[in-house]
Copies of this chain bind each other. A is one copy, B any other.
Amino acid sequence: MPTTIKDVAAAAGVSVGTASKALNGLGRMREDTRARVLAAARQLGFRPNPLAQGLLAGRTFTVGLVSSDSFGRFSIPVMLGAEDALGAGQISVFMCDTRDDPIRERHYIERLLARRVEGIIVTGRRTEPRAGIGQNLPVPVVYAMTQSVDERDLSIIPDDRGGGEQAARHLLATGREKIGHITGPERFQAARLRAQGLRDVVEPAGEVLFGEWSEEWGRQGADILLRAVPDVEAIFCGSDQIARGVAETLRERGRRVPDDVALVGFDNWEPMALACRPPLTTIDMSLGDIGRMAAEHLLNVMAGQPAESGVRTVPAGLVIRESTRVAQLP
């Protein structure tokens, strides 16, 4: 059995109340009494029981993290950012994965509430709006890298539109003006917003090609685009995977990257972006920042500030690699 404060008090020859005060630096007592208690605690390896502390304080210093993404490629960095911010505040994180199943989700939420978590972060695979986990929950909730359809909730998502803009600006700045766009399914808000960001800056060359989030589609899409716009100077892709497919087709068709056609991806998924030939310039969604921001909001509400609501976007970053190198002068 772990040592309790009672053991410490007995070893130091004081009452438990005094021991508690000594350990917490409270109350007034002689220095040697305090020292005696501290020494006893150290020697016995005393650790206060957080259950008892939590019971008394009505707090648990825990939050729940619910992922509908099996903690995949997108929610992991979010989770790490959140854990970062929370861990610094001595808050521990309960992890749940819903496997995208509403029943499981409900179940986990119940479990978290039963455990008296002080807040819940919901993360997802993509930023698509989803049904919220409910209003009137006894704790604050924040959606990170996913978006609640209920606008009373707070959702923190990447700035897809701004990311599209940045990609376009970078391509313009490096001297490319005929810019094609190959991206994921149009039903995804992220795909639409990225395309919109591009359009905000420059009229795309040819149709915007909506398809799948896959390399295979990147290969196909590149062929379609090359046929429609043979003199295309750059291609902005909706994901790094698509970009890789595009890069392959370009190489096979004898177009050099970046000399003939420049390429920008999206996600900064390093195993993809770095293995691409050439390494891929891409947009980084700052997922860690999203997680951190979600956690900070939770901490603020837990500290008594009013809950916010609506949708917040986190600026994306541009990661420059070979695929947009400025063409060599002849």
A327 at the interface (CB under 8 A from B): no
A52 at the interface (CB under 8 A from B): yes
A72 at the interface (CB under 8 A from B): yes
Q: Which residues of B contact A92 (CB under 8 A)?
A: 94, 111, 115
Give the contacts of A268-291 with B (CB-CB under 8 A): 271-272, 275
CB pair B47–A95 under 8 Å, yes or no, is: no
Q: Which residues of B contact A244 (CB under 8 A)?
A: 275
A93 at the interface (CB under 8 A from B): yes
Q: Which residues of B contact A50 (CB under 8 A)?
A: 114-116
Give the contacts of A73-95 with B (CB-CB under 8 A): 76, 79-80, 83, 87, 90, 92-95
Q: Which residues of B contact A97 (CB under 8 A)?
A: 80, 83
**A49 contact from B47, B94, B96, B116, Cβ within 8 A:** B116
Smallest CB gap from A79: residue in B: B71
Q: How far, in angstroms, from A52 to B58 measured CA to CA in the complex?
A: 11
- Most chain B beta-carbon neighbours within 10 Å: one of A48, A80, A271, A275: A275
Q: Which residues of B contact A183 (CB under 8 A)?
A: none
**A71 contact from B52, B60, B80, B114, Cβ within 8 A:** B80
Instruction: Give the number of chain A interface residues (Cβ < 8 Å).
Output: 44
Q: How far, in angstroms, from A76 to B49 measured CA to CA in the complex?
A: 30
A215 at the interface (CB under 8 A from B): yes
Q: Which residues of B contact A316 (CB under 8 A)?
A: none
Q: Which residues of B contact A65 (CB under 8 A)?
A: 95
**A93 contact from B49, B76, B94, Cβ within 8 A:** B94
Interface string of A150-169 (1 = CB under 8 A from B): 00000000000000000000
A17 at the interface (CB under 8 A from B): no
**A83 contact from B2, B80, B95, B138, Cβ within 8 A:** B95
Q: How far, in angstroms, from A2 to B62 measured CA to CA in the complex?
A: 16
- Report 13 cross-chain contacts, Cβ distance below 8 Å, ordered by A residue: A2-B116, A47-B114, A48-B114, A51-B116, A65-B95, A70-B76, A72-B76, A76-B76, A83-B96, A83-B97, A87-B96, A93-B94, A95-B95
